[in-house]
Structure 1
Amino acid sequence: MNLPAMSARQPARAATAAFIGTMIEWYDFYIYATAAALVFGTLYFPSHDPFVSTMASFATFAVGFFARPIGGLVFGHLGDRIGRKKALMTTLMMMGIATVCVGLLPDFSKVGVLAPVLLVLLRVVQGIAVGGEWGGAVLMAGEHAPQGRRTFFASFAQLGSPAGLILSLVAFRAVTSLDKADFLSWGWRLPFLASSVLLVVGILIRMGVNESPEFAQIKEANKTVKLPVAEVFSSAWRLVLLCIGANTIGIAGVYFTNTFMIAYTTQYVGVTRSLILDCLFAVAIIQLCAQPVAAWLAERIGSARFLKFAALAAMLSPYPMFVLVQSGSVVPMVIGIAIAVVCMASFYSVIAGFVSGVFPTRVRYSAISLSYQVCGAVAGGLTPLVGTYLAHRFVGQWWPLAVFYTCLAAISLLCIVALDARRSQRADASEALHAS
């Protein structure tokens, strides 16, 4: 095959590789989240009070988020210095190996306090890996995109989240059909061990994608930055803060409607583990279908305008969600959660391309990774903990949870408005300069 033909296929290959790679990374991340809600409290943090065990389990879940900014800084630096592709190959291997090790880890009854210590360490490795993964995947897809298609192509990296969730729910739905003793003994480990197969598949796919053409150009011109993170902090820290806020509902919403919702419905609504997993599986399929439609629509009406509408809709969505979830029946629960998820997922699909366009190529990996992962550490890591606290503090009342979700979406809306205003100011200044 000639080189032009191979080059013409690279955008599609890059988008596919971004999707498959992030799907595997998020599968690994989500199976930990599901296990944290279902089994880790019992096996690694035994207590006479289920609330204490659940909070301890979600605390280890949060540790992974707090490690993500480290991954964003380390791999953002490497991605801006030596290339996006090398950084992504490393993050995928780290995540896969750590996940398999979780599946092999003995529990508290076998090795005592060493068990939760090792669990936390492996969770840190997972956090560092996914912290470096997201920015590179978004850029490999977006920087390979044809002119004017960055938003749509970058959204393929975002598709990895619902696809990984679907895989994780399928895996856990299969093992939760076992009786309780077998599930707690060995069944929960199988989804973690299956990651070894996915790791091999992901590596093979990513080997077939060329380095980002935009990065290749600045490297060939010797325009890479020696310390990209330092330049981000010195020249673009205000933009980073706004991007951290802008990502809030796209990140926190996922863990509110999935991780926290598992614990909430099983402990306070009284539904079974299998029923809520079935509901979340159906909602994840809806999310997978909604995201590319949202990215396509955003290209036509403008990313900033679309994000404002999506964030506003997300602010209103938790109220019908909770009303329907309280029924405890499958169809109303699916509809209720889907309302919130479609609003959140539409925002999540578009935000990656929007944020990546804010920063110059030479520091883009570091800037968007730092923005996304710091937000992930705060909004994503703390959301299940705050939700669990509110549910325990206001037993039988869902409105504090809905207000909390609305506040998360409002943060994103305000930051998108501010980012759009700054972009308009830069555009006006550029036109004035050319006119003069």
Structure 2
Amino acid sequence: MTGKSRKAAVAAWIGSALEYYDFFIYGTAAALVFGKVFFPSSDPAASTLLALATFGVGYLARPVGAFFLGHLGDKFGRKKVLVLTVLLMGSSTFLVGCLPTYRQVGVLAPVLLVALRLMQGLSAAGEQAGANSMSLEHAPENRRAYYTSFTLAGTQAGQILATAVFLPVAAMPAAQLQSWGWRLPFWLSAIVVVAAFVIRRKLDETPVFEREAAAKLPVVLLFRDHWRDVIRVVVASTIAAVSTLFTVYALSFAVNDAGLAKTPMLWVGVLANVMALAAIPLWAKLADWIGRRPVFIGGSLGCAVLIFGYLGAISAKSYLWVFVVGIVMFGIVYSATNASWPSFYGEMFTAKVRLSGTAVGTQIGFAIAGFTPTIASAIGSWTGVAAFTAGLCLLNVIAVATGRETYRTPTAELGLRTTPAKAPLSAR
């Protein structure tokens, strides 16, 4: 069991890193380049707002993809979904790098951009839910948070790769950056597709899925028996607003409004994500020891406070405090939520609907979070943006606090409402 647990966790880490490299290079490009490449240059502020809106479109597609891919994963297996998602993500990302610009084809350019972003969103809808379900169902019962946390650690690694690749690209002269330089990170996704496909083809299906008789319509079973948990996951998942705000809006705000240099701001993201790689497994071990809820709630409350400090540091143009607060908030505090939610959400559902429940719940919540950069740009004031984000954090705290604690529940009994919340496990 241990060998398969490690194999599933490592595959989830590598696959998620490669998949989210694709997803996040789009966000970086949207903040730095797309407003000038795919939209009219007559109104720079409006162009930036439209470019950030296309980033949010990917999240809008994710709830739709969650229903489809969730059904496939609960009906035909977790492995099939994981192979499909990486192929869809890789091909759509590569094609973004091949698109003509607004100067070349006019309105067709942003139309094609949005279409490919929708494909990215459909792929991402099944990625984390599939990897989490795979890892959770292979994991030892007393280490489920630790093994499922590899998925989110992989996501952080993908952000590091995406930002690191853009560091030399962003340093190029503006003419080269806007003509062909921005395309390079997207073309590299061809390597991503091949590597992730090979890794995931070698995975074993989970024993829990193989033992269970698949439901004919998992989504019907999901909303009949678990609709409260779906709503809880939707609200809790709005914590992802911290990520989209940090990754996209804060970068755009710093460079385009506050006048800070691109390269230092990209380095903030790299260093914060490097810190997250170390923090996530440690928080996950704590979640296996004291429970999922206290770790998640602590991280969310911390983000509600620190977001004021981070945006305030950007507004004050203090590179020192931008680095310090950004790394603490996103690298350490936000990592507590990322370490605990993969197990916490998955443990709310039975194996028959686990992938559907996790996918649908998270992707609707992530869709809300995905438009945070657009909403933030419309709000304008950084204090208003911080207050809006803190409000979302408080909402997900309430959702998590009212949920069942599941860290002591045996894997076979997860999602069964008759199961005591603290049924005994084997010796920890």
TM-score using structure 1 length: 0.91
What secondary structure does 1:48 align onto? coil
Q: Hey, what does 1:357 align to over in structure 2?
A: 347
Q: Hey, what does 1:302 align to over in structure 2?
A: 291
Give 1:55 shift. Answer: 1.2
For 1:103-252, list aligned pairs within 5 A: 103-218=97-212, 223-249=213-239, 251-252=240-241
Q: Give me the whole-angstrom Cα distance separating, in 2, the residues matched to 1:118 and 1:64.
A: 13
Q: Hey, what does 1:284 align to over in structure 2?
A: 273
2:6 aligned with 1:22: no
Candidates 80, 90, 96, aligned match of 2:84:
90
Q: Tell which deviates more after alignment, 45-54 or 12-21.
A: 45-54
What secondary structure does 2:353 align onto? helix
2:44 aligned with 1:50: yes
Query: Over residues 306-350 of structure 1, what are the superposed CA-to-partner deviations in whole Å (9 max), with x where a residue is unaligned?
Result: 222222222222222233333424332111112321222211221
Q: Hey, what does 1:401 align to over in structure 2?
A: 385
Change in Cα spacing, 1:325 to 1:216, as seen in structure 2 (3 Å) is same
The answer to whether the Cα contact below 8 Å between 2:5 and 2:135 also exists between their aligned partners in 1 is yes
Give 1:278 shift. Answer: 1.6
Change in Cα spacing, 1:8 to 1:427, as seen in structure 2 (3 Å) is closer
Give 1:428 shift. Answer: 9.8
Change in Cα spacing, 1:427 to 1:135, as seen in structure 2 (3 Å) is closer
Q: Hey, what does 1:3 align to over in structure 2?
A: none
Q: Hey, what does 2:329 align to over in structure 1?
A: 340
Give 1:252 shift. Answer: 1.0
Percent identity for Structure 1 against Structure 2: 35
Candidates 32, 36, 39, aligned match of 2:30:
36
Q: Hey, what does 2:75 align to over in structure 1?
A: 81
The answer to whether the Cα contact below 8 Å between 1:307 and 1:347 also exists between their aligned partners in 2 is yes
| Unmatched tracts of structure 2, length 5 or more | 409-414, 424-428
Q: Give me the whole-angstrom Cα distance separating, in 2, the residues matched to 1:330 and 1:281.
A: 15
TM-score using structure 2 length: 0.93
Q: Give me the whole-angstrom Cα distance separating, in 2, the residues matched to 1:328 and 1:415.
A: 35
Q: Give me the whole-angstrom Cα distance separating, in 2, the residues matched to 1:252 and 1:428.
A: 30
Candidates 413, 418, 426, aligned match of 2:397:
413
The answer to whether the Cα contact below 8 Å between 1:248 and 1:409 also exists between their aligned partners in 2 is yes
Change in Cα spacing, 1:430 to 1:351, as seen in structure 2 (3 Å) is closer
Change in Cα spacing, 1:360 to 1:148, as seen in structure 2 (3 Å) is same
Candidates 364, 372, 395, aligned match of 1:383:
372
Q: Give me the whole-angstrom Cα distance separating, in 2, the residues matched to 1:368 and 1:355.
A: 6
Q: Hey, what does 2:426 align to over in structure 1?
A: none
Letter in 1 for 2:198: L
Give 1:149 shift. Answer: 1.2
Letter in 1 for 2:211: Q
Query: Over residues 27-70 of structure 1, what are the superposed CA-to-partner deviations in whole Å (9 max), with x where a residue is unaligned?
Result: 11100011111111111112322221011111111111011111
Give 1:431 shift. Answer: 5.8
The answer to whether the Cα contact below 8 Å between 1:158 and 1:349 also exists between their aligned partners in 2 is yes
The answer to whether the Cα contact below 8 Å between 1:25 and 1:95 also exists between their aligned partners in 2 is yes
Q: Give me the whole-angstrom Cα distance separating, in 2, the residues matched to 1:233 and 1:304.
A: 23
What secondary structure does 1:152 align onto? helix
Give 1:268 shift. Answer: 2.2
Candidates 49, 54, 61, aligned match of 1:60:
54
Q: Hey, what does 1:4 align to over in structure 2?
A: none
Query: Over residues 123-149 of structure 1, what are the superposed CA-to-partner deviations in whole Å (9 max), with x where a residue is unaligned?
Result: 111100011111101111111111221
What is the total number of aligned residue pairs between the two structures?
415
Candidates 304, 314, 317, aligned match of 1:325:
314
Give 1:76 shift. Answer: 0.6
The answer to whether the Cα contact below 8 Å between 1:280 and 1:334 also exists between their aligned partners in 2 is no
Letter in 1 for 2:328: I
